[in-house]
Amino acid sequence: MELEERLNDVRSRISAAEQQGGRPNGSVQLVAVSKTFDADAIRPALQAGQRVFGENRIQESQGKWPELKSETSGIELHLIGPLQSNKAAEAVALFDVIETVDREKIARALADEMKRQAKTPRLYVQVNTGLEPQKAGIAPDDTVEFVAFCRDQLGLAIEGLMCIPPVDENPGPHFALLARLAKACGIEKLSMGMSGDYETAIAFGATSVRVGSAIFGTR
């Protein structure tokens, strides 16, 4: 199958899941995860009208997205991978949405850089819903307090919450937990669901899904 066919298949599955969940058509944003794929592999997605992309590494993104952004207007780039505070300047410069805010140090570094660069990427807080030691994200129990800290102490608008459920578990309870936490924080956006479970995530209220291999192929 060509990329455009795979992309259209994902789009129609998203529409069907929206409809099934009683959600308005077009209410779920598709973030096409292009990590590990080079500019030539990404251009067909741009040609097929896709404008929202996710990447998990800053350095890799710097090698392809400035060029792609200069060729095509309206691109929205999401950082979905772990962020070190010494990379905050680069992240603020390149990304339109940073989905992996998960600790005070990185929140402070982003707040400083956003002032310095007079740029305001939209921000999501990553929650480690499975409390996995190897995984980034704030603990569920600390989420409400952390979001309040970002807002009240740093003046950062937190637009949404993001999670990556443990690979070997039923994702439903993790999506439900993220939705509950968002409600407790007064947050409406939920970034959850990947190639294997995005329809489930939509049923639990995802407002954006991050789909890589189902569009670009296996990595």
Ligand X SMILES: *Cc1c(COP(=O)(O)O)cnc(C)c1O
Q: Which residues bind ligand X (CB under 6 A)?
A: 33, 35, 56, 80-81, 164, 194-196, 210-214
Closest distance to ligand X from the beta carbon of 9 (Å): 13
Residue 110, exposed/middle/buried by CB under 10 A (0-12, 13-18, 19+)?
buried
State how far the Cα of 190 lies from the Cα of 184, in Å rounded to an integer: 13
Nearer to ligand X, 205 or 212 (CB): 212
Closest distance to ligand X from the beta carbon of 191 (Å): 8
Token pair, residue 81, equals 């991978």
Closest distance to ligand X from the beta carbon of 81 (Å): 6
Nearer to ligand X, 91 or 214 (CB): 214
User: Maximum Cα–Cα distance for the chain, whole Å?
Assistant: 50
Nearer to ligand X, 49 or 196 (CB): 196
Nearer to ligand X, 139 or 167 (CB): 167
Q: Which residues contact 41 (CB under 8 A, 6 or more apart)?
A: 3, 34, 216
Closest distance to ligand X from the beta carbon of 60 (Å): 12
For ligand X, which residue has the nearest CB? 212
Q: Which of 91, 92, 53 is closest to 75 using CA atoms?
A: 53
State how far the Cα of 141 lies from the Cα of 181, in Å rounded to an integer: 9
